[in-house]
Structure 1
Amino acid sequence: MKTIQNIFDFKQKALHWANQFEVCCLLDSNQYADPYGKYDFLIAADVQAQLKCASGTAFEQLKIFYENHKKWSFGFLSYDLKNEIEDLQSNHADHLNFPELFFFVPKYLIAHKDGKTEILVGDDAILEEINNFKFENEMPPKAINIHSKFSKKTYIEKVEALKNHIIRGDIYEVNFCQEFFAENAAINPLQTFSLLNEVSPTPFAGYFKIDQHYILSATPERFVCKRGAKLISQPIKGTAKRSANLLEDKLIKSQLRNDIKEQSENVMIVDLVRHDLTKSAVRGSVKVDELFGIYSFPQVHQMISTISCDLNSDVYFLDAIKNAFPMGSMTGAPKVKAMRLIEEYEETKRGVYSGSFGYIDPAGDFDFNVIIRSILYNSANQYLSFQVGGAITYECDPEKEYEECMLKASAMLKVFGG
């Protein structure tokens, strides 16, 4: 364990060093206080063993992979693994072509906590190698022309149609998303991530590289983590813009906390998460630790609730991920019907968007985020994509929902000069 004087410089060097390998992952808390977080950041690089598979038996293969190694494993789960859990399909166009599930055991793992850096996997000589690693500062990126998959008018029409499903009683709430994309986009993924993390530092941010595929994430949301015998999920529902005026910003935060519409969106997802955790829980142990917590990030205030339970000893710990997947905040209620309507009304395959990435440690603890506010990139075909969405309820205003989408897209658009 070593004390590092300049954490920012070390993290930048370590990430550039890790990026020389075909596979690497950074998970970064950006110094946000988190009672459930074990590390300020983790950087995993290079591959001892890996698992890449499609839906069908992906969750079973992940269990076998972990049992065969029982080492630190980092990976992601695509939203479309829902097709393995339920009788669902994903038929939209996919220009990114990420694997549906990918996990790897790293050759090198660097952990930082409370000013001290430790090599968890590999030799301490890595620290010297990183300190001596040379990389060139890139020129500022050129502006990229970002397109929307459908117009504002089409978006509003689709929201109105989804509200009709609510009126008919098909659903109570659905998370409806739209894609922003660029073709022939020549970017430097690591530089783009650094800019995004500078514009919008968040507690579950991350950089994931697997060959020509990149996840550049500024997500503020935790999907689920396991600490000993306890499971914790922290869904986000409820968003308000920040203001540069401190008094106005404080007022906006108070208004969000007391907004009946936002509270109703949040509590429906809290109930859904409680139901999902019940599948893995000791009977009677599911509880809401915090309801309607308001947390502030550079672009937005968010309403976040915390739900926890004790893991039933009869449930294999990785089944707790499957039992809660995909996360309720990105689907809706009832969950299966909402996912069917998502497939009907959206126009892009979600892929890893609204999926999750994170780690499993040798003791069987894990921590996974929700892949939102994230730029996805395939460097082979130079296709760049990010999606944004929100909760559609009976009370929602389609015009305001569109504005909320643009607010959520603002950090990513800013990175590309928009």
Structure 2
Amino acid sequence: MAAQPRILLIDSYDSFTFNLAALCKRAIPGCEVHIIKNDTLPPSVLFPLLKYFDAAIVGPGPGSPDNPADIGVVRDLWHVEEDLLIPIFGVCLGLQSLAVEFGARIKRLNVVKHGQVSEVIHSGTDIFEGVGPIHAVRYHSLHVEFYENKHLVPLAWADDGEENGRVLMSLKHAHKPFWSVQYHPESVCTSGGGEEVLRNFWRLASSWSAARQRTTLPWIPILQSSVGPSWPLTDSRGAERPDFERVASHVATRILPLSGVDVPRICEMLGVLDEEEGFVMLDSAASPGRFSIIGCLTRTSSRITYSVGESFIRIREGENITFVELGSSDVWTWLSAFMRRRRASGGMPDVPFWGGLVGYLSYELGAHTLTPIPPRSDSRPRHPDVNLVFVERSVVVDTLRKTAYVQSILPGDGKWLQEIVSRLETLTSPPSNVMPSNPCVSRLPQPQAVITLPNRAEYISKIKAAKEWLFSGDSYELCVTAPTRIRAPRSPSAVARGISPSWELYKTLRARNPAPHSAYLRLHPSTLLSSSPERFLSYSRPPESLCQLRPIKGTVRKAPGITRAVAEEMLAGSRKEVAENLMIVDLIRHDLHSVVGEDVHVRQFCKVEEYETVWQLVSVIEGKPTPQTKGKIHADLGFDVLRASLPPGSMTGAPKKRSVEILRDLEGEERGIYSGVLGYADVGGGGDWAVIIRSCFKHDERPGSSASSNGESKTGVESDDPHEEPVDSDGASEARPSEAIFDEWTLGAGGAITALSDPVAEWEEMVTKVESVLRTFNNPVL
């Protein structure tokens, strides 16, 4: 064995692989871990390289060992010639593959185990020597049907009682140096059977190699061209990244105490009512949110848009549009370089945003990074997948300290700063010329929003199809979603009178469904209204940068009798809710490990938190760059983590790549903005992004225009299901002012489907989520 052990980890496109790599680093001190996909190298290329490794790990993954496309080169690995034999540790799919190659059969469990914790009854020998009680996390719907076999020796079981009986949890080969476990030793909730078992594997592997005088060949750097560098990766891409000439900026700030915090009034003062102009506001409209960020855009503010599949980025500055070719780079690398050039200093340390990029990143952008697929052709206008504006002037409102921070990173901008401070000071009393929200501008009966829910029967059939994918072993959890369409009336004369229909809708949404990550983004051709409760990713400024992700899985709406104790029983006490949350926690750990290295920890697991209108089951995962990765230019950290972790695991499932592929076929259309992320990348090096849920968005053909044409329409709710009841009819009238036209809004919603999901209950949960936003459209503005 080498002084610095070298481990080959074979990844079958799983979403827990880097968790397993981190476990290796803890269990085998000083080891180097190289990770390859199971279809990267053919046996003829891979097998000679085994002489340069001390051991191999065959990781978990979706699918079945009976399917060559799922298992790749692994099935051949168990049959290498004697002179190439290497100790191997298999996990989940790795165990199943080992078993199948030596005579066992694979069957489906009667009751699948995804995110479930089971007691493991073990032999106390081999990899379990000296190991005490084990409570292990299981992610499998297939299992090994084991019979007496001269090649295989069982080592551990789980007793599922009437559900599945005894289920094999570990086995070894009788003569070759192969050991394996069915459960997931790398899961955050596995206790007793993780690091201890892998340490025993390394002891057994070392003894086997010593007894056979197996020597590992000295490492040759050129081998990295085949198996890649060891993990965690240092930043070797700096020379390849497009860069710009560095422009140093200083943040100028004016501080103003506020007698009352009224973020909407500040927005109206700063121009949000002009429907034809861009506007961005990230709004902490409810606890635990604190800072609201208002961008003060100019006509020449840089607007950056990009669509998946294109080879260029658009930059609009006023009437000028520049097309920047990406070349051999990608959009993530370009965005990192763009922000690296615009780094600034000198702002207030406690203010999270000094200036920078604000906007959204679509679901398809993340999905395309995982599995490149051309965009679907659709008759509906397509939103940009990247839609950001560079904010140089801003007002940040601290709702806790009741303070406004007026900021600029433009040189010599003192006059503007003083002007905004003076205007803010006039907001101590409502000005007489501001129209009230939702004004009654006509005594005629007004048309109502026309709402088209998803087809109930089709949605339920998709839930059933998703469960079949779960039973087959292709996914542990699938977040199935569907769009609701809303045709909301508006009037050109209302816009002429200084009323912004989309802004009025946002204020109604804010009042009825306040959320800590609300937002109003008007970045033509897209307008987004959000009342998101879920932070996706935040990362602090250097030098001690910390990444934090806060997945939410499990929600109970507040109501009489729903106390904290009741909510905790319904959420933290629910096997289904905790399993869903656990799967996403393990997935997020993997995503974060892939960028920052080993220093990733679960700071909070499945804690019930109180929000304005709901109780939610929230976990907190944190990570920071390790010594190996601290050499990365910090401006790249946020975009590197976004690239690795989008689309949000809470909106896809695990394993993520296979789940995204299944969902694309199952849902039948793109999600667009829905279930992407919105937020900012700060010029100081930090950032904060929220999951786009409880949100609606529309597409404008051009600034200030409607995406829909004039026309008659029914009032209330349209549904393809004849049994579907309206969400709200509210006394419709046939009267139609001739000037009325309609904006078409899209509202996505769905739910995480597990083996425990009831299809009808999932439909009802989806409709409940939709209704939280649909209430906004009850009182349309004309």
Asked whether the two chains share a fold, i.e. TM above 0.5, the reply is: yes
Report how far residue 68 of structure 1 moved.
3.1
Q: Which moved more, 1:128-137 or 1:50-59?
A: 128-137
Aligned twin of 1:303: 617
| 1:139 alignment partner in structure 2 | 439
SS at match of 1:279: helix
Does structure 1 residue 401 correspond to structure 2 residue 674? no
Pick which of 326-335 and 23-32 moved more: 23-32
SS in 2 for 1:387: strand
The SS at the match of 1:146 is strand
Distance 2:379 2:681 in 1: 28
Aligned to 2:333: 60
Which secondary structure does the structure 2 equivalent of 1:75 belong to?
strand
In the alignment, structure 2 segments of 5+ residues that lack a partner are 1-254, 310-329, 344-354, 409-415, 441-445, 492-500, 701-705, 708-742
Q: Does 1:387 align with 2:762?
A: no
Give CA deviations for 1:370-413 in whole Å, capped at 9, x if unaligned.
Answer: 11000112243122110001101111111111111122112212
2:605 to 291, 297, 301: 291
* Structure 1 residue corresponding to 2:295, chosen from 44, 67, 86: 44
Q: 1:411 to 1:96 in 2, by over 3 A?
A: farther
Instruction: From 407, 415, 418, give the equivalent of 1:120.
Output: 407
1:10-409 equivalences in 2 (<5 Å): 11-15=264-268, 17-19=270-272, 20=274, 22-33=277-288, 40-47=291-298, 48-56=301-309, 57-70=330-343, 71-89=355-373, 90-91=375-376, 93=378, 95=380, 97-113=382-398, 114-121=401-408, 122-129=416-423, 131=426, 134-137=433-436, 138-139=438-439, 143-148=448-453, 150-183=454-487, 185-186=489-490, 188-228=501-541, 229-243=545-559, 245-246=560-561, 250-283=565-598, 285-311=599-625, 312-315=629-632, 316-317=636-637, 318-379=639-700, 380-381=706-707, 382-409=743-770
Q: Distance in 1 between matches of 2:371 and 2:745?
A: 30
Tell me, in whole angstroms, the C-alpha distance in 1 between the residues paired with 2:690 and 2:575: 27
Once the two structures are superposed, residues 139-162 of structure 1 have per-residue CA deviations (whole angstroms, 9 ceiling, x without a partner) of: 2696312102x3212111110011
Q: Does structure 2 retain, via aligned residues, the 8 Å contact 1:30–1:205?
A: yes
Tell me the CA shift for residue 322 of structure 1: 0.9
What are the Cα deviations for residues 157-183 of structure 1, in whole angstroms up to 9, with x where unaligned?
A: 110011001101111101110110024
Q: Say if 1:204 and 1:123 are closer, same or farther in 2 by CA, change over 3 A.
A: same
Counterpart secondary structure, 2:597? coil
Seen in structure 2, the aligned counterparts of structure 1 residues 391 and 16 have a Cα distance that, compared at 3 Å, is farther
Deviation at 1:28, TM superposition (A): 1.5
SS of the residue corresponding to residue 103 of structure 1 reads: strand
Change over 3 Å in CA distance of 1:257–1:16 after alignment to 2: farther
Instruction: Report the CA distance between 1:249 and its aligned residue.
Output: 7.1
- Return 5+ residue gaps in structure 1 as ranges: none
Aligned amino acid, residue 371 of structure 1: I
Q: Is the 8 A contact 1:76 1:356 kept in 2?
A: yes
Q: C-alpha root-mean-square deviation of aligned residues, in Å?
A: 2.3
2:264–2:507 Cα contact (<8 Å) kept: no
Amino acid of the structure 1 residue aligned with 2:335? L
Q: Matched residues in 2 for 1:338 and 1:83: separation?
A: 10
- Letter matched to residue 509 of structure 2: L
For 1:416 and 1:281, how far apart are their aligned partners in 2?
43
Tell me how far 1:82 sits from its aligned partner.
2.5
Residue 726 of structure 2 aligns with which residue? Answer: none
Identity %: 24
Instruction: Kindly indicate whether the alpha-carbon contact (under 8 Å) linking 2:536 and 2:691 is maintained by their aligned counterparts in 1.
Output: yes
Give the Cα–Cα distance (whole angstroms) in 1 for the partners of residues 539 and 379 of structure 2.
Answer: 32
Give 1:49 shift. 2.0
Q: Which moved more, 1:345-354 or 1:269-278?
A: 345-354
1:3 aligned to which of 242, 252, 257: 257
Contact 1:51–1:62 (8 Å) recurs in 2: no
Task: Give secondary structure in 2 for the equivalent of 1:246.
Answer: coil
Taking a change above 3 Å as real, the CA distance of residues 394 and 27 of structure 1, as seen in their structure-2 partners, is same
| 8 A contact 1:15–1:43 mirrored in 2 | no
SS in 1 for 2:296: strand
Distance 1:53-1:291 versus aligned 2 partners, 3 A rule? same
Question: What is the number of equivalent residue pairs in this alignment?
Answer: 410
Q: Distance in 1 between matches of 2:278 and 2:778?
A: 28
Label 1:142 to 1:278 Cα distance change in 2 as closer, same or farther (>3 A). farther
CA displacement, residues 31-83 of structure 1 (integer Å, 9 cap, x when unaligned) = 5135xxxx521101314323211235321221232123235221211111135
Q: Does the aligned pair in 2 maintain the 1:201–1:297 contact within 8 Å? A: no
1:247 Cα shift? Answer: 5.1
Is the 8 Å Cα contact of residues 383 and 525 (structure 2) preserved in structure 1?
no
Whether the 8 Å contact between 1:92 and 1:347 is mirrored in structure 2 is no
Q: Distance in 2 between matches of 1:355 and 1:2?
A: 34
Which protein is bigger by CA-based radius of gyration?
Answer: 2
- For residues 239 and 94 of structure 1, the distance between their equivalents in structure 2, rounded to whole angstroms, comes to 35
Q: C-alpha distance in 1, partners of 2:391/2:480?
A: 35
Partner SS for 2:285 = coil
Take 1:14 and 1:101, find their aligned partners in 2: how far apart are those partners? 24
How far is 1:365 from its partner? 0.5
CA distance in 2, matches of 1:258, 1:143: 42
Cα gap change, 1:238 to 1:94, in 2 (>3 Å)? farther
| Residues in 1 aligned to 2:661 and 2:377: alpha-carbon distance in whole angstroms | 13
Task: For 2:450, give the aligned amino acid.
Answer: N
Contact 1:18 1:44 in 2 (8 A): no
Closer/same/farther in 2, CA of residues 59 and 123 from structure 1, 3 Å limit:
same
TM-score by length of 1: 0.91
Letter in 2 for 1:230: L
Higher relative contact order (CA 8 A, sep 6+): 1
AA partner of residue 170 (structure 1): D
Of residues 132-141 and 378-387 in structure 1, the stretch that sits farther from structure 2 once superposed is: 132-141
Equivalent residue of 1:320, what SS? Answer: helix
Report the secondary structure of 1:364's partner residue: coil
Moved more, 374-383 or 191-200: 374-383
Counterpart of 2:238 in structure 1 is none
Contact residue 330 and residue 354 of structure 1 kept, 8 A: yes
Instruction: Tell me how far 1:334 sits from its aligned partner.
Output: 0.6
Greater share of helix: 1
Q: Cα–Cα, structure 1 residues 31 and 213, in superposed 2: closer, same or farther, change >3 Å?
A: same
Question: Structure 2: how far apart are the matches of 1:65 and 1:363?
Answer: 13
Q: Which moved more, 1:311-320 or 1:362-371?
A: 311-320
